[in-house]
Amino acid sequence: MALRGRKVSARGESMAANYAFGPLEDDVIIKHRLLTRTTTTRGEPPLKKLQKKFTSFVLEIEKDGNNYDDCEKLSRAFLQELSTFEIPLLKSKAVVDANIREKESFHEFKDEINRQILLSQGDIEDLKKQLEESKIERKHKEECEAIRKLIAAQPPRSVTQKSIMELEKEIAALNAENTASSRMLELRKKQFALLLHVVDELQNTIEDEQKSLMEEIRITSEENKIGVDEASGEAMAVD
């Protein structure tokens, strides 16, 4: 058995090596054989059998003599073979028609799928726009919520108004205190200026008095000196 398997394998390899047709030519030959039914896997090809029946019938008709029974017999055999040959053709035609219908249905289905794809693409674009709008709306809502929380965290308006009034009072008090301080400062400036003027006048008066005193001392000294000189002259004259 193993030896026979090796022989078959070798035969197949040799057939494959000697194969003279390409894939496209092989498809054409197979299509032609299926259409003409000139080959079969078992027995004689149907077309050849039909051809033989027809040839036998024609040859019998062309013979001279009383062969009516043979012609009728061959005619029935030919018609039977023709009917037998026609059945697979009708089946093949039904298969072809079914394939054509299936092909048309496939094209219709393909067109429907393409239409659905276009509709889906349009829906996807619309959903993208809706998503972007939803994102923007959500962002606005989040911002509004943050502002609301910030406002809620602030004290009530009455408390804020009261605080503002207290601050205004404090500012008014500070302004009044600032005005009083400014007036006091201005008064102190005037008093200090007056004090400086009095001191300057006093200093000038003291300087004048010192000059007058020095002048009186000088005059007194000169008078004393003159008196001493006169006394000394009289004493010398008496001697």
Of the candidate ranges 35-44, 47-56, 158-167, the one whose mean pLDDT is the lowest: 35-44
**pTM beyond 0.75, yes or no:** no
Write down the H helix ranges in the chain.
Answer: 2-17, 23-36, 46-62, 68-153, 157-238
Which tokens go with 210?
Answer: 């010192």
- Calculated CA dihedral for residues 195, 200, 201, 207, nearest 10 degrees: 150
Task: Give the SS3 label for residue 198.
Answer: helix
More confident residue, 9 or 65: 65
Q: Over pLDDT 90: what percentage of the chain?
A: 21
pLDDT at position 236 is 62
Q: State which H helix or E strand residue 44 sits in.
A: none
CA–CA separation, 118 and 128 (whole Å):
15
CA 150 to chain centre: 31
Name which of 152, 155, 153 is nearest 164 in CA terms.
Answer: 155
Query: Which pair of structure tokens corresponds to residue 96?
Result: 């072809």
Q: Which two tokens stand for residue 14?
A: 């040799």
The dihedrals phi and psi of 131, each to the nearest 5 degrees, come to -65, -45
Which of 69-73, 115-119, 170-174 is predicted with the least confidence, judged by mean pLDDT? 69-73
Which tens digit of pLDDT belongs to each residue from 153-209?
Answer: 887 888 888 888 889 999 999 999 899 888 899 888 888 888 888 888 888 888 888
If we measure between CA atoms, which residue out of 1, 183, 109 comes closest to residue 117? Answer: 109
